[in-house]
Structure 1
Amino acid sequence: MKTSTTQSLRMKGNTVIVLMAFLLSSATSFAQLTVTKSYTAPSSVSIDGCGSYCTNLPGVTFSAADFTAGVCLVADVNVSITWAKTDGSCTAPGTGSSFHNETNFRIDGPVGNEILVVPGTYTGSATISTVTTTLDQAAASIIGGTTPTSGTFRPNNGDLDNYIGTDPFGTWTLRAGDTGGGDPLCVVGYSVTITMSAAVDADGDGFTNCSGDCDDSDPLINPGMTEILCDGIDNDCNPTTLDDPTPPTAICQSINAYIDGSGLAAITAADIDLGSSDNCTAITMGVSPSSFTCADLGAQTVILTVTDGIGNTASCSAAVMVIDSLAPVGDLSTLPDVNGSCEVTSLVPPTASDNCAGASVTITNDATLPIDTLGTTIVTWTYDDGNGNTSVQTQNVVIVDTIAPVADSLALPDLLSDCEGSLNPPTATDACNGAITGTTTTTFPVTTQGTTVVTWTFDDGNGNISTQDQSIVLADIATPVADIAILPDFNAICEATPPAPTGVDACAGVVTATSTTTFPITTIGTTTITWTYDDGNGNTYDQVQDIVVTNITATTTATMDGVTLTSDITGDSYQWINCDGNTPIVGATSANYTATANGSYAVIVTDASCVDTSACATVTTVSVNTLIIDNLKLYPNPTRDGFFNVTFDGVINSITVLDMLGREIPVEVDIYSGSVNASTLNNGRYMVRIETNKGTKVTEIIISM
């Protein structure tokens, strides 16, 4: 539009009056360079999970009438948005995480669009209350950070200065988006503020326009010039008919359309539009088709038709992906329990409904049939609509077992035997576990005579038990049999304790006989005893045996030297006596006795209860060889240190030290040198017996240390 004082002065008289009236009216009503248009929602607009710039808010429209006449070029554009982000809902905000990186805004003008807030501008997630964000290209900093705040910022990823010098007339629309789900973006309203600048007289003809100066030097020369400004005003600032052969520009975008619960999806032209525009006028848009059903799932082609104010049209095509994202819903909110005894072999599928599949929902479960585990088994049903949407529902299968096993035999037969008995386990049948083998605490084989009641227990493992009794009857009537048919006589001296004979019993096995006779038997002569074989089951067998006991006979034997006497029999004890007076010799209680003087001696031998005295033996050789071996010497005597020597001109065979009772005492003797070490003996008198090749001599030694 060209508007200037100069232009008005070149008008004819009455024209000046009309023009002045117009200018006064404009000054009064529209005399401004900056105009703000706002939209406030009746209630905040909730945007949740639809994507980027996916929601068109109602637009605000600017026309030439809003500004001072002659100013029609954009000098500055600011956008102010009042909004919030919550993890609850726009009507009931929550306090959890809100994920501000999902938020995005774009402004679509009559000419082009500019991104204000790109996804990821903010990094925080704390729920915020309402903020007012103003986007101004002249602001000091770019919008962004952790948590949104009120203030003025430069756009992120857009440039509002791209609108400078363009035609502002038409509809400006805020597009908002949210790339996540569950934390809605709540838009309260927005405003667009446009500052205009006056047109310039580029060709110096004294007339201005808004979209470029005309080439005519004077409108009076070309009064019918073509309108090129799209504002319905010619270069003479007079209304004229638009002559606009240029069609609008149609720009499409592909989108997703989601089938709703009723099986429908609807779209609008604004959903497909990606910034369609016209060079002169406002545009209207239509899209076809604009609705879809479940039969249209997948990619569908739609046509966006754009029409300008002159009637010029343009179109573009876009792909609409029709999507069913709603899962089937079970017809029952809660599935009833399925109860069974022992097992459940089949399950009745529940039903479900789907917005697209209707009742034709594929229904499966994760159960392995039959289900026979006692207790509750959770079965998961899956509903699949065939479009990639599934839902699940669980159902309890409750298995119980309260029936005890039933014995296969009504009554178990008795087992009859003589010595022992073992039983084969009976069986029972259980409703749940089939064949059950009985168990018992009785230890087999049973060997107790008489009747033993065996209790069989049938346990199905599920807490149900039944029992059944069976008897074992043992009757042993066979007597033991002796291993030796006739027992030989048992001979013993002094006393007898014969070994018990053995026998064999069919039940008891080896049986050792017993006797009432008291052992040992000491009666000299023959005693007949009775052995009894008892199998412990009341069966006995008797057998006799003769026991012959004889007395001992004591005798003695003298050694070659005629001095030492030895008992010829072995006894429990010995006592040597001097036959002259039958007096016991003190200390002479071993099997041997060496006489220390000539005389008669006997030994009393005691063996158990038998006692016998030998005949008297006469000793006459003590010192009898003195004259023969007078040259045998023993010195020193007495000895003061226990050492003494024996010398002889013949051969010494042995040197023995005896106490005065005739008992040998061990001492160190060197036969070759004749030295004797008796230092270990106590002081006193001892006998020394010396055997040589010429005879034996017994002499006395005195130890006095």
Structure 2
Amino acid sequence: MTRLATSPQTVRCRNRLFAVLVALAISLAALPGAASAQCSPDVTAPTAICQNITVPLNSAGTASINASQVDNGSFDACGPVMLAVSPFFFTCNDLGANTVTLTVIDNAGNMSTCTATVMIIDNIAPTAMVAPFTASLDGTGNVTLTGAEFDAGSTDNCAVSGFSVAPNSFTCADVGGPISVTVSVSDTSGNVSMAMTTVTIEDNTAPVVTCPTVPLTTLPMGSCSAVVTWSPPTATDNCGVMSVTTDIASGSSFSSGTTTVTATAMDVNGNTSTCTFDVVVDDLEAPVITCPTITQVHNAGDCGDVVTFPNATATDNCAVASVVQTAGPASGTVFAPGTHTLTWVATD
């Protein structure tokens, strides 16, 4: 028995090639002497017998078959037969069961067909290409990775369908040096390949610091400073707080006015954050002013006298800013006979 196998061509040309082969077979069968004398005339079609086959795709994601692979002993009583199969070219889009038709032609041009199932499979695992990755913990101190983060251009003859990594969950305990992980790359047919790489876990989340509110403080009588205390600032962090400090300690002495205090929180991985609060000290004690004593004897016959006197003086628990005469004739001016009221204002 003679079998004619088709050659793999592009998908676009396979139906045309099949038609050409069938026509060629019919033409050859029509040649003089093609059939033996005892089978002349031969009007009986050959017997087509098919078998199912499984064919793997190659590294390019393609596969081709010939007619002899699906033939299971097709024959003709009068002589050899020619075989053709369609379709014969397959790609990743044909994964699974595909129905093909086997055409059997005898020397007289009689034709019969049968169908077979061609199971296209992909046994080639992806090529895993991975690279180290750096991951940051979230606000809860955890991070979960999918495996795709490590991909550095993995390929497959069909298509890469997914990634996974083991281990894939990390916590604050993993912050620091590189950790070895295994990345698995799978394709659409379930083939898997694995590669080793590393992950570095970082904590970039700063602590959350809360400053206290300090009530208004009044200076003690006779004093220019007051000791002020406050509740310590507090802080929380995804991995843990190392310290909370202030640039001015609670229990320090503060002068009158507003002083801004800065609190700094540091977590166990060196991240810091700050907040500020004001310490306000009020001075309610007024300065003590002393007016000069002025005694002037009027000269008889004069309409007035030039009177000179020192400025008023003042003391304060902190400091006197100014002592200013605000009413009455100034020192060194002429005072008319009589009583004059002079007024000074002291400001601290």
Normalization by structure 2: what TM-score? 0.50
Whose relative contact order is higher, 1 or 2, with alpha carbons under 8 Å and at least 6 apart?
A: 2
Normalization by structure 1: what TM-score? 0.27
Structure showing greater radius of gyration is 1
Q: Which has the higher helix share?
A: 2
